[in-house]
Structure 1
């Protein structure tokens, strides 16, 4: 594409070249008419004579040959050190005896210039996946949050007042441990997220046992079915609730294939793990609640906001619900 100050567009170049080649005008006269230099007019006329109309477009400024390009064996060494030891350009340059700018250029070309592109555990480039349709895969997990005392937690009221609120709540409920310390309990949020659309479903329960997880699963399946999504697989980690035979049988009864991640590989279930961070920032810890009951009542409204209104980077900046077009009225 021509730059902003170019004297000739491709169409103007063609007119200039045709005056010289087809009509026999002197190059000097054509150059004067189009207010360009004599060598410029001669160059476009020669291109038209050699390549025709196709020669009037801009050419790439990339050189045909790059004799100073980093040799491929050196590129492999740079990539190997980056993947195995996660060193920066300066450290790699010192080891291999090449300029740091060369190392950075190679890493950028190989898309390894950021450590976030590399898996921390294996040192290999991160492989991302997404199923092509809703329901092909559900990700399930449990997120635990400490219950909020009456009057608010320490994150918003401070450590001193937060401890007072804990004591007052324990006096009201009588929940204390063997050392007479306040015991407020835990909210176990059972979360289910669709791999393709990122639509999320969640329930708050009092534990994370297999019986509880089995109770949540049919509710989630029915919730997705009401939105026209048929569940085929469910992916979980190797927690005790999901390793049980009861979980496997419950999935089979619903016609769902139960799958598990590799041990010590939470990245395989990364979509639900990332949703937990969004859940914590947007709902659990993102605002001031005067009690645990107030926070639990706010969960359905936040889930609706997440599914229907919150832009999601994985869905091109649109809410997750936009990937479900089965039923009318899903955008309200």
Structure 2
């Protein structure tokens, strides 16, 4: 690639070479005309004689031989440690008494993935996929979330005051101790479209088969209103999803139910990543004064996520950009 101050482009090199080789210009005259040194003029004219116009492109600056390259035996040790222990360049370097920069160059040379792209359980590169059309696969999952006490918890008042706010007097054997109030949990039922990342979330009281099934009925209606026809659903192996009720409800509408392998949440990774985003940008984004205040903020956040928030997996576009009929303009 040419640098910003390069006097000659590929076209300029060719014109210079033609002047010297075909038109018989002296090297010094051609060099002066094209504002380069005679040495440069000779280099491009010689390449033109040898290779023609194809010789005007830049060549790799990589040396033909590298006598000081890391020995093959050392490279094998680096790769072996990386695959066996999944360490980064710095830790491998300390372990093998090598410069971490050397380890990094070796890993780059052999095309080993970044640690963030590896499956922690197997060390293999994570296989990423995306279905071609909205509705081809909907990821469904449940996220358990502790409720906020009235008046706010530790994020509002600090750890000590927040703890006092979330406890109540409860006499026990010695009539002198207290225990934490049973604030309960919220169960976030989430559905995310594999292709568009369009998301639908409800906060329910439990994760029973009745709740999970009712949620799916409403989620399917949400996707249908956006013009998305659901053909497959992917869930984990929770009891609510293994129930006959959930299975029969999907079967009645012709939806295929697929479940992940046990202890493999990575398979349902898109909704797991959505859960994390939900926690970071809504549930724990600010200090809420009550659980109701947090729940009231969900609808606005969900609209922002679907219609306005830039999604890195979609090239900076929101999920709505991949669902043309989300606002009903084509219905």
Shorter chain as denominator, the TM-score bin is 0.7 to 0.9
Q: 1:149 to 1:327 in 2, by over 3 A?
A: closer
CA distance in 2, matches of 1:293, 1:285: 14
**1:252-291 paired onto structure 2 within 5 Å:** 252-291=251-290
Q: 1:139, CA displacement in angstroms?
A: 0.9
Equivalent pair of 1:104/1:113 in contact (CA under 8 Å): no
Q: 1:316, CA displacement in angstroms?
A: 0.8
Residue of structure 2 in register with 1:79 after alignment: 79
Q: 1:103 to 1:222 in 2, by over 3 A?
A: same
Q: 1:287, CA displacement in angstroms?
A: 2.2
- In the TM superposition, what whole-angstrom CA distance separates every residue of 1:147-178 from its partner, at most 9, and x where no partner exists? 2222112221223443454357x99xxxxxxx
Q: 1:122, CA displacement in angstroms?
A: 1.3
Equivalent pair of 1:311/1:317 in contact (CA under 8 Å): yes
Q: 1:77, CA displacement in angstroms?
A: 5.2
CA distance in 2, matches of 1:328, 1:280: 26
Q: 1:185, CA displacement in angstroms?
A: 1.7
Q: 1:38, CA displacement in angstroms?
A: 2.6
Q: 1:199, CA displacement in angstroms?
A: 0.7
Q: Where does the alignment leave 5 or more consecutive residues of structure 1 unmatched?
A: 172-178
Say which is worse superposed, 229-238 or 117-126, in terms of deviation. 117-126
Q: 1:134, CA displacement in angstroms?
A: 0.8
Q: 1:291, CA displacement in angstroms?
A: 2.2
Q: Where does the alignment leave 5 or more consecutive residues of structure 2 unmatched?
A: 171-177
CA distance in 2, matches of 1:96, 1:290: 53
Q: 1:56, CA displacement in angstroms?
A: 2.4
Say which is worse superposed, 93-102 or 218-227, in terms of deviation. 93-102
Equivalent pair of 1:192/1:220 in contact (CA under 8 Å): yes
CA distance in 2, matches of 1:90, 1:226: 51
Residue of structure 2 in register with 1:146 after alignment: 146
Residue of structure 1 in register with 2:216 after alignment: 217
Q: 1:135 to 1:3 in 2, by over 3 A?
A: same
Residue of structure 2 in register with 1:174 after alignment: none
Equivalent pair of 1:148/1:292 in contact (CA under 8 Å): yes
Q: 1:323, CA displacement in angstroms?
A: 0.8
Residue of structure 2 in register with 1:307 after alignment: 306
Q: 1:99, CA displacement in angstroms?
A: 6.3
Equivalent pair of 1:138/1:195 in contact (CA under 8 Å): yes
Superposition CA RMSD, Å: 2.8
Q: 1:71, CA displacement in angstroms?
A: 7.4
Equivalent pair of 1:111/1:117 in contact (CA under 8 Å): no
Equivalent pair of 2:142/2:190 in contact (CA under 8 Å): yes
Q: 1:55, CA displacement in angstroms?
A: 2.3
Q: 1:160 to 1:10 in 2, by over 3 A?
A: closer
Q: How many residues align?
A: 322
Q: 1:296 to 1:34 in 2, by over 3 A?
A: closer
Q: 1:320, CA displacement in angstroms?
A: 1.0
Residue of structure 1 in register with 2:43 after alignment: 43
- In the TM superposition, what whole-angstrom CA distance separates every residue of 1:49-86 from its partner, at most 9, and x where no partner exists? 22222322323323456676667786565434312212
**1:160-199 paired onto structure 2 within 5 Å:** 160-167=160-167, 181-199=180-198
